[in-house]
């Protein structure tokens, strides 16, 4: 079969874009799971809130995309902190299942509230002027905004990795993931660290939401559609590793893109097929520590 390079690269780019969102979201899930032992099923709804925050900032307050990139993650992160303080902290000692049910319920409520006011159709969010248009790379046409999303997500992911794996603060975080009781007995305020970690994970989801707004439109169900794939990504990558979730996120986006080109019928299921294979061969995930 002859290969249409133009179409192949186009699908690869779509894959990379999706991979950026997978990476940002699964990274946040991994960070939250590490510290809180909670599989945050509200993640998709919080991602959607990030996109809506950008929409409101623009249409209510007239604050544009660049400020939204900062303000939306902070605002939604703060909302996450309130969720952690008022609800999640009380179930920290219980079985995973309680966190799963609570966050799943929270996700449904948040989504339901937005659906009630905005229905299920998408609200438009324009690409900022600075990132409009595209460049012809010779082998393909690259819309600038899409290139920006991939590069910026990669930078944010790597910065988060650096923060956790290479700094003093990150060392506290890693230690508290391993043995919170002892870290606290050294004089570190672990409960506060847990709260801020949840805020960080939620902020990353909201950031992905802002990035996604100009590409996917702003819809109450945008997170629900995406998060199912993200959980499969997380299962494949394993929960324990920061770099693992970043790499798996991007890699599976690319795999999806390639599948769309070579065998489009399977493009929606390929990630789940991989998930099944990984679960059969290495249940803790490709990079996961056994939990």
Partner 1 sequence: MVETMTTASDAAAATPSAQPAGDVVLSVQNLQAWYGESHILHGIDFEVRAGEVVTLLGRNGAGKTTTLKSIMGIIPKRSGSIRFEGKDISRASSDKIARQGVAICPEERGIFASLDVRENLMLPPQVRPGGLSLEQIFELFPNLKERLKSQGTKLSGGEQQMLAIARILRTGARFLMLDEPTEGLAPVIIQQIGHTIQRLKNEGFTILLVEQNFRFAATMADRYYIVEHGKIIDGFANSELSANMDKLHSYLGV
* In the complex, least distance from residue 171 CB atom to partner 1, rounded to whole angstroms: 4
Sequence-distant (6+) residues with CB within 8 A of 185 are: none
Q: Which of 76, 74, 53 is nearest to 125 (CA)?
A: 53
Binding mask 142-171 for partner 1 (x = CB under 8 A): --------------------------x--x
- The CA distance from 199 to 222, in Å, is 21
User: Smallest distance, Å, CB 182 to partner 1?
Assistant: 5
Residue 136 lies near partner 1 (rule: CB under 8 A): no
Size of the site for partner 1 (CB under 8 A): 18
Provide, rounded to whole angstroms, the least separation between the CB of residue 17 and partner 1. 32
Residue 197 CB neighbours (<10 A): 23
- Integer Cα distance of 251 and 190 in angstroms: 34
Distances (CA, A) of 240 to 35, 51, 147, 185, 223: 10, 28, 29, 24, 23
In degrees rounded to 5, what are phi and psi of residue 139?
Answer: -85, -15
Running DSSP on this structure, what letter comes out for residue 141? E
Q: Smallest distance from the beta carbon of 240 to partner 1, in angstroms?
A: 9
* 281 lies in the site for partner 1, by CB under 8 A: no
Per the CB < 8 A criterion, the answer to whether 93 and 180 are in contact is: no
CA distances from 147 to 12, 33, 153, 246 (A): 12, 30, 10, 18
Q: Which is nearer to partner 1, 122 or 170 (by Cβ)?
A: 170
Binding mask 183-222 for partner 1 (x = CB under 8 A): xxxxxxxx--------------------------------
Interaction between residue 116 and partner 1 (CB under 8 A): no
Apex CA 240: angle with CA 291 and CA 85, to 5°?
85
194 or 271, CB closer to partner 1?
A: 194
- Closest approach, Cβ 179 to partner 1, in A, equals 6
The yes or no reply on residue 82 touching partner 1 (CB under 8 A) is no
CB 256 within 8 A of CB 271: yes
End-to-end Cα spacing for the chain: 45
Q: Which is nearer to partner 1, 189 or 268 (CB)?
A: 189
179 is a site residue for partner 1 (CB under 8 A): yes
Q: Which of 89, 115, 172, 284 binds partner 1 (CB under 8 A)?
A: 172
- Residue 197 C-beta: closest distance to partner 1, Å: 15
Residue 36 CB, shortest distance to partner 1, in Å, is: 17
Cα separation of 138 and 115, whole Å? 43
User: H-helix or E-strand containing 164?
Assistant: helix 144-166
Binding residue for partner 1, selected from 74, 174, 217, 224, defined by CB under 8 A: 174
Q: Which of 97, 182, 228, 291 binds partner 1 (CB under 8 A)?
A: 182
- C-beta closer to partner 1: residue 157 or 193: 193
The site for partner 1 (CB under 8 A) is made up of 168, 171-172, 174-175, 177-179, 181-190
């Amino acid at each position: 079969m002859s290969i249409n390079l133009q179409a192949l690269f186009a699908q690869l780019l779509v894959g990379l874009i999706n991979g950026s969102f997978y990476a940002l979201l699964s990274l946040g899930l991994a960070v939250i799971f590490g510290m809180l032992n909670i599989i945050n099923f509200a993640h998709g709804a919080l991602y959607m809130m990030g996109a809506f925050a950008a929409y409101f900032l623009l249409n209510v307050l007239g604050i544009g995309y660049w400020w939204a990139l900062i303000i939306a993650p902070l605002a939604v992160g703060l909302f996450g902190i309130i969720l952690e303080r008022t609800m999640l902290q009380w179930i920290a000692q219980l079985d995973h299942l309680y966190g799963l049910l609570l966050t799943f319920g929270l996700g449904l409520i948040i989504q339901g509230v937005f659906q009630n006011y905005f229905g299920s159709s998408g609200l438009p969010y324009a690409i900022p002027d600075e990132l409009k248009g595209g460049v012809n790379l010779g082998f393909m046409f690259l819309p600038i905004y899409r290139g920006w999303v991939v590069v910026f997500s990669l930078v944010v992911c790597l910065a988060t990795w650096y923060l956790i794996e290479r700094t003093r603060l990150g060392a506290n975080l890693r230690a508290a993931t391993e043995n919170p009781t002892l870290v606290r007995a050294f004089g570190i305020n672990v409960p506060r660290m847990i709260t801020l970690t949840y805020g960080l994970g939620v902020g990353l989801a909201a950031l992905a939401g802002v990035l996604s707004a100009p590409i996917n439109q702003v819809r109450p169900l945008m997170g629900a559609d995406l998060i199912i794939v993200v959980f499969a990504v997380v299962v494949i990558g394993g929960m324990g590793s920061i770099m693992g979730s970043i790499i798996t996120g991007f890699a599976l986006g690319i795999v999806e893109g390639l599948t769309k080109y070579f065998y489009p019928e399977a493009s929606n299921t390929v990630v789940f097929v991989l998930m099944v294979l990984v679960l059969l061969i290495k249940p803790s995930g490709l990079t996961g520590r056994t939990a």
